[in-house]
């Protein structure tokens, strides 16, 4: 059950007011924050997508269908987890939605617990994704504090070069490389060399970029 102090936002998109009300009441009853839209167009024109932890989306919507919205959202770089619901499901439609990353596909009428389980799975996926994005942003911020020399040392070190090899590459003394390396490790808050390598991979620092130097 969501914590009231940090209740995830679930956006329900359906052109039937009765469905929006019923699903909204169900989700509010277990602690979710709920918002509504009657069409995908309405949703695209709002700024709520960046705040939403889950979209409960009807397949058959006016103007822009749920599946077309899913594709448009992906094209825009959006990654809010989607739970689809429909009264007219077919296998190709379900396969297309799931291959495109939908969390679940519920046929109307669905049981309350089916909806709650699907939304819980979507919210958990969103929580993990946000956690990963926050972690990456933190790594990038720390990387931004490095001097150009410290970045070079990090690049060579994570490519597997020893201090003496880095020294030769940069025309520095080995002790100078050790000093830069120590400062770099501290600024990156790297507890081990393995964690530094993972950070380099996370920000896209490729070992191949140093092999041709």
Q: Give the chain's mean pLDDT.
A: 87
H or E stretch at 78: none
pLDDT grade for 4, boundaries at 50, 70 and 90 = very low
Closest C-alpha among 187, 189, 184, 191 to residue 157: 184
pLDDT value of residue 118: 94
Residue-wise pLDDT tens digits, 99-144 = 777 888 888 889 999 999 999 999 999 999 888 888 888 999 999 9
User: What distance in Å separates the CA atoms of residue 181 and residue 201, rounded to the nearest whole number?
Assistant: 18
Tell me how far CA of residue 76 lies from CA of 49, 69, 178, 198, in angstroms.
11, 10, 44, 28
For the domain spanning 144-211, the CATH number is 1.10.10.10
Q: What are phi and psi of 86, to 5 degrees?
A: -160, 150
Q: pLDDT tens, 13-46?
A: 998 999 999 999 999 999 999 999 988 888 887 8
In this structure, which CATH number among 3.40.50.920, 1.10.10.10, 3.40.50.2300, 3.40.600.10 belongs to the domain 4-132? 3.40.50.2300
Q: What is the mean pLDDT of residues 73-99?
A: 80
How far apart are alpha carbons 89 and 60 in whole angstroms? Answer: 10
What pLDDT score does 207 carry? 58
**pLDDT over threshold 60, residue 209:** no
Neighbours of 154 (CB within 10 A): 26
Q: How far apart are CA 168 and CA 171, in angstroms?
A: 5
**What pLDDT, on a 0 to 100 scale, did the predictor assign at position 208?**
42
With both helix axes pointing from N to C terminus, report the angle between 163-170 and 148-158 in degrees, rounded to the nearest 10.
130
At residue 90, the pLDDT reads: 65
CB atoms within 10 A of CB 34: 18
Measure the CA–CA gap between 6 and 130, rounded to whole angstroms. 14
Give pLDDT tens digits for 143-176.
999 999 999 999 999 999 999 999 999 999 999 9
CA angle 137, 138, 142 (to 5 degrees): 115
Ranges of each domain in the chain: 4-132, 144-211
Question: Is this structure's pTM higher than 0.75?
Answer: no
* Least confident range of 27-31, 58-62, 91-95: 91-95
Closest CA to 147 of 183, 175, 173, 177: 183
pLDDT at 213: 44
């Amino acid at each position: 059950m969501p914590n009231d102090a940090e209740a995830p936002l679930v956006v329900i998109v359906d052109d039937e007011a009765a469905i929006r009300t019923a699903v909204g009441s169900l989700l509010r009853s277990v602690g979710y924050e709920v918002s509504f839209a009657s069409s995908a167009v309405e949703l695209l024109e709002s700024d709520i997508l960046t705040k939403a932890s889950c979209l409960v989306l009807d397949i058959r919507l006016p103007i822009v269908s749920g599946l077309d919205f899913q594709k448009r959202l992906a094209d825009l770089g959006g990654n809010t987890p989607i739970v689809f619901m429909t009264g007219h499901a077919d296998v190709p439609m379900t396969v297309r939605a799931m291959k495109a990353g939908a969390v679940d596909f519920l046929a109307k009428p669905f049981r309350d617990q089916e909806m709650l389980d699907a939304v819980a799975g979507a919210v958990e996926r969103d929580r993990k994704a946000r956690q990963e994005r926050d972690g990456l942003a933190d790594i990038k911020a720390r990387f931004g504090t490095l001097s150009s020399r410290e970045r070079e040392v990090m690049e060579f070190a994570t490519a597997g070069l020893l201090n003496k090899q880095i020294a030769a590459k940069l025309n520095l003394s080995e002790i100078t490389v050790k000093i830069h390396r120590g400062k770099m490790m501290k600024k990156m808050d790297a507890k081990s060399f393995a964690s530094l390598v993972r950070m380099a991979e996370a920000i896209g620092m490729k070992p191949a970029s140093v092999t041709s130097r």
